[in-house]
Structure 1
Amino acid sequence: MIVKIAVKSAAKRRNIEYRDYELTAVKNLLELIGALVDCEIDRYEQDELKVLSQADIDTMLEQGKVTFGFKYREDVVIDRSEAKRTAIEAFNDGLFVVFINDKQIEDTNTVLSLQNNDVIVLVRLTMLAGRCF
């Protein structure tokens, strides 16, 4: 099935950009997070070095950092199970929230019935940080 995924930071004012992801059937949020981690790892491993366009550079300048897509540690093999554990821990710690078709999913064991073209939004929450002297 193909679903539309958007990742949004609560602090950013830019429009949300949706990407299509092809997923196998998932039963709950735990499996959905694992499937998304697998998709991202596959995409990272297949990513090729590309020449940046002026639009790419301008977008990165807005974000405050221009990168060139180098993989500095190509010899490192990504541990998928560790990556999934980290993503699930981040969700449980409240670092991001998940919305499926505008409904927030709060529990990793929530049963999901995803259909083609469902919209999934991941919102990365920005924590306030400061110093006390």
Structure 2
Amino acid sequence: MVTESPIMKIYLQQKRPGRTRQAIVPCPIELPAGLNTTGELISSLVRIIVSAYNDRIDDVPADPDADYQVAPMTEDQVNNLAEAGRIAFGLIYNNRKEDPEKAIANALQCHEDGIFKIFLNGSQLGSNESQVEIAEGDTLTIIRLTMLSGRMW
């Protein structure tokens, strides 16, 4: 008999798109319980995101000229997308599935290089090997850092 690993629900702080009413909203996400290090947390998040992306690709026909029906958008949906600055129909133009192992390796390297920082309940997490204690209902925030060009560059 196979037992499934317990799942815990945490909240990922996500920036709501928009130009006028920008806000950070918590988005619930389910992670496997028993994550011990920052690297395991990153790996788990990347697996979930890549899996969701690959699942969306399965819904798109491989032939770009195929008669693919997109559900009509409501006026509210159009207005929300217009507020964000781009009206898109959810199409994936590159129907190549991503390799989760490559994505995990890239994410771990980016974290070590300081491309993004992770905060758990407002406290910054350390390197990929540092211990982390995640509990049900915790809030996770990921901030991508960008370099500003100036006179040096």
Q: Normalised by the size of structure 2, how large is the TM-score?
A: 0.71
- 1:53-92 counterparts in 2 under 5 A? 53-74=74-95, 76-92=96-112
Classify 1:95/1:61 alpha carbon distance in 2 versus 1 (closer, same or farther; 3 Å): farther
2: CA distance between counterparts of 1:55 and 1:120?
29
Structure 1: where are the runs of 5+ without partners?
A: none
Classify 1:51/1:22 alpha carbon distance in 2 versus 1 (closer, same or farther; 3 Å): farther
2: CA distance between counterparts of 1:115 and 1:35?
15
**Identity over the aligned pairs, expressed in percent?**
27
1:82-120 Cα deviation digits (max 9, x unpaired): 101111122122221110011111211111121111110
Classify 1:44/1:50 alpha carbon distance in 2 versus 1 (closer, same or farther; 3 Å): farther
2: CA distance between counterparts of 1:83 and 1:72?
19
Superposed CA RMSD = 2.6
2:42 to 21, 28, 33: 33
2: CA distance between counterparts of 1:86 and 1:19?
24
1:6 to 13, 22, 30: 13
1: CA distance between counterparts of 2:28 and 2:11?
5
Q: Which moved more, 1:87-96 or 1:77-86?
A: 87-96
Report which structure shows greater RCO (CA 8 Å, sep ≥6): 1
The structure whose Rg is larger is 2
Structure 2: where are the runs of 5+ without partners?
A: 1-7, 60-69
1:119 pairs with 2:128: no
Q: Retained in 2: the 8 A contact 1:7–1:123? A: no
| Count of residues in Structure 1 that have an aligned counterpart in Structure 2 | 129
1: CA distance between counterparts of 2:79 and 2:109?
34
Amino acid of the structure 2 residue aligned with 1:68: F
Shift of 1:45: 2.6
2:29 to 18, 21, 34: 21
